[in-house]
């Protein structure tokens, strides 16, 4: 259960970042960062961005899929010795810089999604990732 709560906190962070960054970005200059689909932090930002729009469109299953994809990317960050908070900060900076550039954010999302879809490890873990995403979403909605 502790893992679900932990993932629940991740889901809250993921689902709060996009709208918060959108509000802040109106008065923030673009950062000197370029979208990179090989960077897990950027993919987390792209999946968060997509989750925001799926939330607006009332597509809960697609939101769950984005949370699962974000969890997978966060696992990559942690397995390489990276920091979750650093990755989220980097994702926020990227989102802040490109939230109004739908072409670049959509391209990043599609590149990250495509990379995962061709990754055998992701495909193998997907059912468990989706189950964990559902648990995390349930935990975040009750806290």
pLDDT per position as a tens digit, 47-70: 999 999 999 999 999 999 999 999
Distance from C-alpha of 52 to C-alpha of 56, rounded to nearest angstrom: 6
Residue 128 has pLDDT above 90, yes or no: yes
pLDDT band at 22 (very low <50, low <70, confident <90, very high): very low
Measured torsion, CA atoms of residues 97, 103, 108, 111, in degrees rounded to the nearest 10: -170
pLDDT band at 33 (very low <50, low <70, confident <90, very high): confident
Q: With 0-12 CB in 10 A as exposed, 13-18 as middle and 19+ as buried, what is 5?
A: middle
pLDDT per position as a tens digit, 88-107: 999 999 999 999 999 999 99
Max alpha carbon distance in the chain (Å)? 42
Please list, in sequence order, all residues whose beta carbon lies within 8 angstroms of the beta carbon of residue 107, skipping any fewer than 6 positions away: 35
Domain spans in the chain, listed from the N-terminal domain onward: 2-26+37-140
Distance from C-alpha of 125 to C-alpha of 53, rounded to nearest angstrom: 25
Backbone angles phi, psi at 103, to 5 degrees: -65, -45
């Amino acid at each position: 259960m502790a893992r679900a709560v932990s993932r629940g906190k991740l889901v809250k962070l993921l689902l709060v970042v996009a709208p918060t960054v959108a509000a802040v970005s109106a008065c923030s200059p673009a950062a000197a960062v370029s979208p990179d689909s090989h960077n897990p932090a950027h993919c987390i930002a792209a999946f968060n961005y997509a989750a925001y729009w799926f939330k607006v469109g009332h597509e809960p299953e697609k939101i769950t899929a984005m949370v699962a994809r974000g969890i997978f990317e966060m696992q990559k960050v942690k397995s390489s010795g990276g920091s979750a908070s650093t990755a989220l900060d980097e994702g926020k900076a990227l989102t802040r810089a490109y939230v109004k550039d739908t072409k670049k954010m959509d391209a990043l999302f599609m590149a990250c999604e495509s990379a995962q879809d061709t990754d055998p490890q992701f495909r193998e873990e997907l059912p468990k990732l989706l189950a964990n995403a559902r648990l995390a979403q349930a935990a975040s909605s009750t806290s």
